[in-house]
Structure 1
Amino acid sequence: MSFLSLITPCFNEEANVDELHARVSAAMAAVPDCTYEHIFIDNASTDATVARLKEIAAADPRVKIIVNARNFGHIRSPAHALLQTTGEAVISLVADLQDPPEMIPALVAKWREGYKTVLCVKRSSAETPAMFLLRRAYYALVERMAAIRTVQNFTGFGLYDRAVVEAVRQMDDPYPFFRGQIAEIGLSLYKIPYDQPVRTRGLTKNNFHTLYDIGMLGITNLSKVPLRLVTALGFVSACLSFLIGLAYLLYKLVFWASFTVGIAPLVIGLFFLGSVQLVSLGIIGEYVGAIHTQVMKRPLVIEKERIGF
């Protein structure tokens, strides 16, 4: 008899948690010889999500709830929930029903075949084509820059053996890039393609800031290429400036009486070098910010209450 843990991060998902619970229960009923716990971690919702979850937990003892003291973001909260599990394997799925619970039996079947990690990889998505293509381009960019082989079109939806969870715990990262951690661990992995459905109720919690945050986190966690590009850009800029200066000097020596440099090249050169410096400082700043987060070593979340544990 296997014991599994399921984790679901929530923030203002009152319209979805009841259906999610029902669909997870139906999917787990189709898994033979298996018991489970379902941990919902709520990121200080401002709607009735917690009240709905408490009603679900009162009727189903397998449901457990963690309520955060405040909104700790879309990265730290799921990571904390993962580390609170006790199952032999952990299945992570979001509350907006874009991770189909009906895939759970297939995940467990592959885990029982011996795979330590079973990932659901997006084959297509019901989101706008432009956003889907942009995400694919980002995954491809990270793949080219990373020092390790990453998993493209993977959002975190999947099953993770206890060995994987303990490896994540040993990393002890206060602001983890989970997709990068899975690639870094390197235990046996199986990919299941799926078509991501559209969100039918509620509003997405992703915005430019959250997407930029996870995007830069992925790059700074997996690659030093941007830092080396800064070095290369500085070298190229210096060489270009030297060659242009030498060309102007030679031209002035040959046409001493008729050639006047003017102020335009000076202004253009200053703007060019200034933009190079700003871009370089921005890239370096991202890495310094990542170091700052690691050094501060704050806990993933502070819990307000636990229910059902």
Structure 2
Amino acid sequence: MSTRKLISFCIPVFNESGNVERLIARLQDVSESLSERYDFEFLFTDNCSEDDTVDKLKAAARTEPRIRIIRLSRNFGFQRSILTNYLNARGDALIQLDADLQDPPELAGDFLALWERGYKVVYGIRRKRLESGLMTRFRKAGYALIRQLSDEPIPLDAGDFRLIDRVIVEALQEYNDYAPYLRGAIATLGYPQTGIEYDRARREAGNSNFGITAMIRLGMDGLFSTSMVPLRLATWVGIAALAVSVLAIPVYAIARYTDPTFPTGLASVYVLILLSMGVNALLLGVFGEYIGRIFRNTRGGPITIIQERFEAAPVQAGPVKADPVKADPMDAATLEPGQPPRATLSPGEG
């Protein structure tokens, strides 16, 4: 039995047919270069891809037994797909990267060297990105805003390309958020953490599935998941509005008393009413974001549902833990010892 530590490469995928074969080849090269010290598994979580991504992964798994595939029943979103991947990984340490090869798998050796020195989280810091200057500035502004408003420090210019230790995974098993922001959640756990700068490459093939709308939604999740500042801001806005109103009453009375020609038109009243309505609507929206998250988290139910597993080693079908990641009755525990990888279905927990 091998005494080498097991490292899990964790890769969420959605419509990445043009990239998965090149990605697997590079993962194999990296794992070969580190094979004297570590064993590896390649765990893919498919967010119900609409192309032949899963077919290509299954074809590769027939000759590469380290590949494990988890297919979700629908697209649950990028962050929940990552969390599902973490909770199903078996490694002593997990390295997460995107399937588009913008994050270099070859940096795994540097990540592992820092992990061996005692760091429980090692994240990639994006020094340069091959994208438009406007998009880069937009991202940096978003990272800076979330960091500034967060209750805990969140690394700047760091995405989801990271290594995490098994202790982080165990802590995340207690994480029950239906709009998770894992960058913030991991940052708030403590433990020794450090970063490595790298230049992010251009996407190898296909188009990004993470557009500006998804980016804004992720930013809102990051803000409302890690910070109470918006709620405190609502309080301070209310206090400021009340103070201005109290001060305006004597000012207006004195102005009317000392100058009978002081304007009495309705225009100023309308402006103040509209301004008050706008501020109230904004603050109600902030409250609604927090209340909506409370509702989703207290309502319960699975964070994701696993439709199918395809892997060489036998696994137990069913939930990974009580609520967050649930397998449906078609969840597959696969393969008898000695057989080539294939997906065969067996009853799971209903």
On whether the aligned pair clears a TM of 0.5, the verdict is yes
In the alignment, what sits opposite 1:49? 53
Runs of at least 4 residues of structure 1 off by over 6 A?
A: none
1:225 aligns with 229
- Contact 2:176–2:297 (8 Å) recurs in 1: no
Question: Match for 2:270 among 263, 267, 270?
Answer: 267
What's the TM-score, normalizing by structure 1? 0.96
**Distance change (3 Å), C-alpha of 1:162 and 1:249:** same
Q: Residue 234 of structure 1 contacts residue 276 of structure 1 at CA under 8 Å; is this kept in 2?
A: no
Q: Does 1:296 align with 2:299?
A: yes
In structure 2, what is the equivalent of residue 194 of structure 1?
198
Determine the C-alpha separation between the residues in 2 that align with 1:248 and 1:83: 63
Once residues 128 and 134 of structure 1 are traced to their aligned partners in structure 2, the CA distance between those partners, rounded to angstroms, is 10
Where 1:87 maps in the other structure, the secondary structure is coil
1:180 and 2:184 correspond: yes
Deviation at 1:98, TM superposition (A): 1.0
The answer for the alignment partner of 1:99 in structure 2 is 103
Deviation at 1:253, TM superposition (A): 1.4
Q: Which runs of 5+ in 1 are unaligned?
A: none
Partner of 1:115: 119
Matching residue within 132, 137, 141 for 2:141: 137
1:89 aligns with 2:64: no
Local SS of the residue matching 2:173:
helix
Tell me which moved more, 167-176 or 134-143: 167-176
Could you tell me which amino acid in structure 2 is paired with residue 128 of structure 1?
S
Separation in structure 1 between the aligned mates of residue 262 and residue 66 of structure 2, nearest angstrom? 84
Separation in 2 of the partners of 1:28 and 1:15? 22
**What per-residue deviation string (whole Å, max 9, x for no partner) do you get for residues 73-92 of structure 1?**
11111111110011111110
Look up the match of 2:245: 241
Residues 232 and 138 (structure 1), Cα distance of their counterparts in 2 relative to 1, 3 Å cut: same
1:14 aligns with 2:8: no
Asked if residue 254 in structure 1 is aligned to residue 258 in structure 2, the reply is yes
User: 1:115: Cα distance to partner?
Assistant: 1.5
Matched, 1:128 2:138: no
Deviation, 1:101, is 0.9
Cα distance in 1 between the residues matched to 2:148 and 2:45 = 34
Quote the offset at 1:94 in angstroms: 0.8
Q: Distance in 2 between matches of 1:193 and 1:112?
A: 18
Measured after TM superposition, the shift of residue 96 of structure 1 is 0.9
CA 1:260–1:190 in 2, change beyond 3 Å: closer, same or farther? closer
Partners of 2:110 and 2:147 in 1: CA distance: 27
Distance 2:268 2:121 in 1: 57
Distance 1:228 1:268 in 2: 26
Which structure has greater helix proportion? 1
Alpha-carbon shift at residue 236 of structure 1 (Å): 1.2
Give, as a single letter, the amino acid of the residue that structure 1 aligns with 2:222.
G
- Please give the alpha-carbon distance, in whole angstroms, between the structure 2 residues aligned to 1:50 and 1:95: 13
Compute the TM-score of the two structures, normalised by the length of structure 2.
0.85
Partner amino acid for 2:294? I
CA distance in 1 between counterparts of 2:271 and 2:97 reads: 52
The reply to whether residue 36 of structure 1 matches residue 67 of structure 2 is no
Q: Structure 1 residue 52: deviation in Å?
A: 0.6
Residue 246 of structure 1, CA deviation = 2.8
User: How many pairs does the alignment contain?
Assistant: 308
Q: Please tell me the root mean square deviation across aligned C-alpha atoms, in Å.
A: 1.4
Deviation readout 1:151-181 (Å, 9 max, x if unpaired): 1111111111111111111233333211111
Cα distance in 2 for partners of 1:100, 1:209 equals: 26
- What displacement does 1:212 show? 1.9
> What is the aligned-residue identity percentage?
34
Q: Secondary structure at the match of 1:64?
A: strand
Query: Deviation digits for residues 182-210 of structure 1, max 9, x if unmatched?
Result: 11111111211111112131111112331
- In the aligned structure 2, how far is the partner of 1:187 from the partner of 1:82? 18
Q: AA paired with 1:62?
A: R
Partner of 1:163: 167
